Structure formats: C-alpha cells, structure tokens
Amino acid sequence: MIANKTMEAELLKERPEEWRALAKESITRAEELAKHLNISVEEIKEVAGVYPMRISRYYLSLIENENDAIWKQCVPDARELKDDVGVADPLFEEKDSPVEGLTHRYPDRVLLLVSNDCANYCRFCTRKRRIGKPFRKITREQIAECISYIREHSEIRDVLVSGGDPLMLEDSEIEHILKELRSIEHVEIIRIGTRVPCTLPQRITPELCAMLRRYHPLYINVHFNHPKELTPQSKRALELLANAGIPLGNQSVLLRGVNDNPEVMMDLNRKLLKMRVKPYYIYQCDLVRGTEHFRTKVENGIKIIESLRGFTSGLAVPQFVIDAPCGGGKIPISPNYIVKRTKKGIIMRNYENKVFSYPEPEMET
C-alpha cells in the first residue's frame, strides 16, 4: 500500500487530471473491500444496502490496523442498522428549507447543498440520509432555484457551499456556481465546506486553485478528524489552497474511539496549524440514525477544550459546539472558568485552576 501511495503521487505530477480516475476507482463493493481488509462480506453488504459505501483507495491506504481511527470512519459497521436513538434529519435541515437544497436558519447566511457525492462516505455523516443515494441527486435546475432565492434575499451576506462535497463537481460546474454567487451584490463572502483534502487530496490541483482564487473573498473549511489523516498528500493539497490566498478552517466531529481524547486532539490541532489551517469547530456528534455507536459524552468534548486552552496556542483551540436537534442551530459549549459572580466583580480560575478576581467598574446608578 505504501508503494501505491508514491505511485499515485508520481502519476499526478504528470497527469493532474488523474483525480477523476482515482475517484472512479473508489471501493463501493463488499467483495472488493474484502480483498484488502479482513471483513465479513455479508455484513458489509447488508449495511451498505441501506447506507452506501464508498472508500477512496487513497483513504483505504491509510488504514494501519483493524478497527483503527481510519477504519472506523469509512468501513460499514453492523451497528449502523441497530440504532433506534437517532433520526434521519435531526437538524431539520429539510424542514428549515425554503427551496430544496438550501437551508436558511440564521439571519444573514445560508447553507447551499450543491452535490450529493463525496470521495468517501463517512459512516458518521450528518447527511447519511441522502449521501450517495442516486434519487437525491442535485440537479442544475435545483441549484439555479437556490441561487434565485439568494438573489431575492438581500439579508444574505454569507453563502456556505456544501454537500456532499462541492469539490466532487467538475471545475467548470464549481466555477459556474461561484460566478453566479459573485454576481449578487449583497453576497459578501463565500465559503466552501469540503473533505477532499482529507479523503482525495489529489483533487486539489493547481488548475482548481487558479480558478478558486478569482472568487475571493472565499473561505474553505476542511474536515480532518485524526492526525493520521494529515499525510504528505494532504499537506500538499492544503498548501496549494493556502497559497491561493484562501483562509482555511477545520471542522472535526467528536467520534468515540477515533478522536474523543485530549492527546489526539492536541496533536491534530497543532499539526493543522502547521499546515496553515485554523481549527474552527469541534462538533458533538448529531443524533443521526445509524451513528449512535460514534457518540461520546458531552463532558469529553468539554475536557478536550480544557486540555487545549492555555496549554497550547490559542490559535489551536477550536470552538466546541452542539448543533441543537430540531434546528436550534450551533450552540457553543465551553468549560466554565467563572467560579463566582458578585456585585463587586468576578472570581475566575485559569487553565491551571488558580483562582483570580477581577473587579467590575464602579457604575453610577
């Protein structure tokens, strides 16, 4: 597998278009996966029949041991079918949707879904209900309707382009969407949410970056969950994006047995910063049907933030959030540093648990 990786990198130097071939070669059949991993074909078939499987050969090559952090994120698991806690659309993304494919929840920004495809189908995905399902394919007409909605709502100043993965579209299709959005005067910033720098870094080509940089101010949020995902290939992809002047943020999902521990998160967030990616959010796992085995206690997320704050660069500390069920939106969950509040001031503790007080100004009443 290691030999494969270098070969891929060599191929790409000569043929930047290679990413399409790599995407096509992704593993989608249980029999094929069984050639690489010690799995039960029957079990995988049963699960993938409900929630499709797709694993890029690149991502597969990162698996080192059975059931390690990479394996858990991409290999179907029988527990996905035994979950009766979660629901299909816990965040009411479809209920809060004025036009199919667009969610308008906050006053000044919207979520625009432009693709239903990803390089990998993550087993913990919040949009598990639709990812990889052909009947949920997003059409050009649908996207055009969403863009009309944005055009008609002058309060929208920030458009978050997501999916699936928007970067699974052809460069020309991505450019069409960006051009349309940029033609709307009230749209100030555009953001793209993508996982390909992690799951198919070969997709980030100099050509793509040359196109993207014409649509600034453009932000990209990537999605890395574990330091093992930060390979030389991902580093190269992130470098190309950052060199195109695109500010990069990272969103992680807190996953049981993958990254629900302070050491792993410290390592991940420091390594991201080295690659010019600012850790943005850590999400508590949503109540999505089929992902119960990934959920971990909220307390673990708080402990992770406490273990970062003060102990490493403030830049490496993301905001821990719970996306509230039923469309409540993202709610920040933070460790409590206030020990006591009095009329005179506040008593607080620092990261080392030392107590300090800060007097309030004396106000005229």
Ligand X SMILES: *Cc1c(COP(=O)(O)O)cnc(C)c1O
Q: What's the rounded Cα separation, in Å, for the pair 189 and 325? A: 27
Cβ neighbourhood burial of 204 (10 Å; 0-12, 13-18, 19+): buried
Q: For ligand X, which residue of 103, 250, 269, 291 counts as binding (CB under 6 A)?
A: 103
Closest to 297 in 3D by CA, of 248, 255, 341, 335: 255
Task: Give the Cα separation of 131 and 14 in Å (integer).
Answer: 32
DSSP state of 340: E
309 noted as active-site residue: no
Q: Based on CB atoms, which residue is closest to ligand X, 22 or 125?
A: 125
Q: Is 352 buried (19+), middle (13-18) or exposed (0-12) by CB count in 10 A?
A: exposed
Instruction: Report the residue number, 48 or 277, with the smaller CB distance to ligand X.
Output: 277
CB of 335 to ligand SF4, least distance (A): 27
Interaction of residue 130 with ligand X, rule CB under 6 A: no
Phi and psi, residue 225, nearest 5°: -115, -15
CA distances from 257 to 51, 58, 125, 300, 322 (A): 21, 22, 16, 12, 19
Query: Which helix (H) or strand (E) covers residue 331, if one does?
Result: strand 329-332
13 is catalytic: no
Closer residue to ligand X in complex, CB, 232/332: 332
Task: Choose which of 111, 113, 238, 240 interacts with ligand X (CB under 6 A).
Answer: 111
> Of ligand SF4, ligand X, none, which one sits near residue 61, judging by CB under 5 to 8 A according to partner kind?
none
User: Active-site residue 281, yes or no?
Assistant: no
Query: Is 323 known to be catalytic?
Result: yes
- Which one, 15 or 133, has the nearer CB to ligand SF4? 133
- Token readout for 256 is 């049981």
Q: Does 256 bind ligand X (CB under 6 A)?
A: no
Q: Which of 5, 57, 105, 349 is catalytic?
A: 105
Please pick, among 89, 165, 260, 286, the residue that the annotation labels catalytic: 286
Q: Is 127 in the site for ligand X (CB under 6 A)?
A: no
Which member of 79, 105, 270, 276 binds ligand X (CB under 6 A)? 105
Is there a catalytic annotation at residue 349? no
Q: Give the footprint of ligand X on residues 135-194 (CB under 6 A).
A: 160
Nearer to ligand X, 99 or 348 (CB): 99
Enumerate the active-site residues: 105-106, 109, 118, 122, 125, 127, 286, 323, 330
